[in-house]
Structure 1
Amino acid sequence: MRILVLGATGYIGSAVTGRLAEHGHEVVALVRPRAGEARSVPGAAEVRYGDVADPASLRAAAGDVDVVVHAAAPTGDGAAESAAADALLSTGARVVYTSGIWVLGAGASAEDAPLAPIPLVAFRADVERRVREAGGVVIRPGIVYGRGGGIPALLAAKAAEHGRGRYVSAGGQEPTWPTVHIDDLADLFALAVEKADAGAVLHGVGEEAVPLSAVAEAAARAAGLGGTGAQAWPVEEAAGDLGPAFAEALALGQAVSAARTREALGWHPHRPGVVAELAEGSYRGGR
């Protein structure tokens, strides 16, 4: 298939681009234009220029492809995100939209759970609905890790800054995170393109509920701090450093199942868990 990938140079998008190419698809990468610069993207057969904030450029880029994988980082502007989705859906290409588990809110959730998005991602509920009604596919990744990137890299950097592991907490019971290795997630995107039913919701979750203290301790080890333990970082204090909306998201406690996704597509995440990856893998020594 001929597949346009938005965000093809980003953390998730670059992994997805590579995996789709490995599966034999012709990948067209959409990148932001830079004056006087010709660009190439690993795994992509072609590079096109456009911006998720420019619906006309999206329509032009997607006019001759079979599938669009929207893996671009959100702009934070709900109206712009909706306009981008409308532009892509108007082309007739099948859209695979990257949402996230934060649309589910706190607590335990499966693929059919009602949405209760936190403010940071409130716009995604409407975009999800539009994509599904048009026959597209929605993927909700957990906290993505691996290849030394993602939110766990931020935790390792904060551990180095503060001299010990820290995790954002709103008080009460220790929160847990659903997580997924970037390479397992890339596998899921390829399966979604090839096998998912129209209107499907897929959960990209390898571990359903990892205690944040364990993640923070592993982040400290990644930062070379040894067994310093982990400390709860009050969300009010973290908000001054990270911003209120992002701090709230990091403090969100969730347990998210991907059982239906695994059964429907035969997806079998098998890479190391987030604690092992932080403590012993790609985050060690700043890699």
Structure 2
Amino acid sequence: MRVFVTGATGWIGSHTVDELLAAGHQVLGLARTDSGEASLQAKGAQTLRGDLDDLAALRRGAEDADAVVHLANKHDWANPAESNRAERAAVETLAEALTGSDRPFVFASGLASLALGRPSTENDPSPFSGPDAPRGGAENRAFEYVDRGVRAIAARFSPTVHGTGDHGFIALLVAAARRTGVSGYVGDGASAWSAVHVVDAARLVRLGLEKAPAGARLHVVAEEAVTARDIAEAIGRHLDLPVKPIAADEAVDHFGFIGRFFALDMSASSAVTRSTFDWHPAGPTLLEDLAAGAYA
């Protein structure tokens, strides 16, 4: 297939491009910069210049492909409303371009919004709809196009997609430990995150693109629950820093904005995903990556 990939030069996107090319697919990657374009072309991908706000480019990319993988996101934590707006607009634009074609549309979603007091499952619908909801309610919005001939597939990523080179949530926790001299966890440290290595995540995106039916929810989860305390202790061991609890009302001051999320339970099962798509995560665990210096 010829696959249009947004976020093609990002953390998950760059590995997804590698996975797609290795599996024999052609890739058309969205590139914002000269360096991003050169990087994609060096891998053997074709490129389309544009960004998440260039809806005309998104439309052209989708119309010129057999499938779409949408991984780009602004991740503007200082202005989440802008990230939500852009995400909804991009999903609507891509889905409109695919309407009536039955072509696959794999889009990034998350597990953070599904905290239920238990690990979330693939059978749990997203509770968020409408443009003012987290991620602009994009998961439910995309699924509205299933009846319009779009094979929409949600890839719900773990809060940490880890590995060497990751600049996401775990990197921010490591940076906070370096800055403060303390590797902290919030409260009793019992809250837990699911986790997945980036290579395993990219493989599941490819499998979903090839095999998943319309309306599928893929849980990109290798480890169901890694506690905040275990994460903090692994960071502390690696940096040779003390490990201490941080009061909930001090979490943002200590960690930065990530403190709002570190106290949340964002655990999930991937049992249905594994059995349905024969996906067997094989990469290092989160704690193994931390011990090996992936965040040095």
Instruction: Give the TM interval when normalised to the shorter protein.
Output: 0.7 to 0.9
Q: What are the equivalent positions in structure 2 for 1:1-287 lying under 5 Å apart?
A: 1-33=1-33, 39-41=38-40, 42-75=42-75, 76=80, 77=82, 78-92=84-98, 93-108=103-118, 109-116=120-127, 122-124=133-135, 126-134=137-145, 135-142=151-158, 143-149=160-166, 150-167=168-185, 169=186, 171=187, 174-223=190-239, 225=240, 228-240=241-253, 244=257, 246-283=258-295, 286=296
Distance in 2 (CA, whole Å) between partners of 1:133 and 1:174 is: 37
Q: 2:114 and 2:43 mapped to 1: Cα distance?
A: 33
Aligned length: 274
2:148 aligns with none
| Residues 113 and 37 of structure 1, relative CA distance in 2, 3 Å threshold | closer
**Residue by residue, what CA displacement relative to the aligned partner does 1:199-220 show, whole Å, maximum 9, x if unpaired?**
1001001110111111111122
Q: Deviations over 1:53-80 (max 9, x none)?
A: 2212211222210111111124532222
Query: Against the structure 1 CA distance between its residues 9 and 277, is the aligned structure 2 distance closer, same or farther, given a 3 Å change threshold?
Result: same
Aligned 8 A contact 1:17 1:44 in 2? no
Give the RMSD, CA atoms, in angstroms. 2.3
Q: Report deviation, 1:160.
A: 1.9
Q: Confirm or deny: 8 A CA contact 2:233 2:243 kept in the other structure.
A: yes
1-side partners of 2:238 and 2:285: how far apart? 14
Describe the shift of the 1:141–1:65 C-alpha distance in structure 2 as closer, same or farther (beyond 3 A).
same
Contact 1:107 1:255 in 2 (8 A): no
**1-side partners of 2:246 and 2:11: how far apart?**
26
CA contact (8 A) 1:105 1:116 kept: no
Question: Structure 1: which amino acid aligns with 2:229?
Answer: S
Looking at structure 2, the residues matched to 32 and 40 of structure 1 have their Cα atoms a distance apart, in angstroms, of: 11
How far apart are residue 82 of structure 1 and its match?
Answer: 1.2
Q: Distance in 1 between matches of 2:205 and 2:193?
A: 21
* 3-state SS of paired residue (1:189): helix
**Alpha-carbon distance between aligned partners in 1 of 2:282 and 2:36, rounded to the nearest angstrom:** 39
TM-score (norm 1): 0.87
Question: What amino acid maps onto 1:236 in structure 2?
Answer: D
Partner of 2:43: helix, strand, or coil? coil
Is 1:180–1:204's contact at 8 Å kept on the other side of the alignment? Answer: yes
TM-score by length of 2: 0.84
1:207-254 per-residue CA deviation (whole Å, 9 max, x = no partner) reads 10111111111122333x1xx45222334323236555x432222113
**Amino acid of the residue matched to residue 82 of structure 1?**
R
Q: Is the alpha carbon distance of 1:80 and 1:104 closer, same or farther for their aligned partners in structure 2, counting shifts above 3 Å?
A: same
Structure 2 residue identity aligned to 1:99: S
| Structure 2 CA distance for aligned equivalents of residues 127 and 45 of structure 1 | 27
Percent identity, please: 38
Query: Matched residues in 2 for 1:7 and 1:260: separation?
Result: 27
Report the Cα offset of residue 33 of structure 1: 4.5
- Any conservation in 2 of the 1:178–1:208 contact (CA below 8 Å)? yes
1:84-116 Cα distance to aligned partner (Å, 9 max, x none): 111101111531111111121252211112435
| CA pair 125-103 structure 1, distance change in 2 beyond 3 A | farther
CA separation of 1:250/1:222 partners in 2, compared to 1, >3 Å: closer, same or farther? same
The answer as to whether partners of 2:238 and 2:290 remain within 8 angstroms in 1 is yes
Question: Structure 1: 5+ residue runs without aligned partners?
Answer: none
Specify whether residues 125 and 56 from structure 1 end up closer, same or farther in structure 2 by C-alpha distance, changes over 3 A only. Answer: closer
Counterparts in 2 of 1:235 and 1:116: CA distance versus 1, 3 Å: farther
For residues 230 and 257 of structure 1, do their structure 2 counterparts lie closer, same or farther at Cα, with a shift above 3 Å needed? Answer: same
Residue 281 of structure 1 and its aligned partner are, at CA, apart by 4.6
Residue-by-residue CA offset, 1:242-281 (whole Å, 9 max, x unaligned): 555x432222113310000001100001212111110125
2:161 and 2:115 mapped to 1: Cα distance? Answer: 17
The letter of the residue matching 1:208 is E
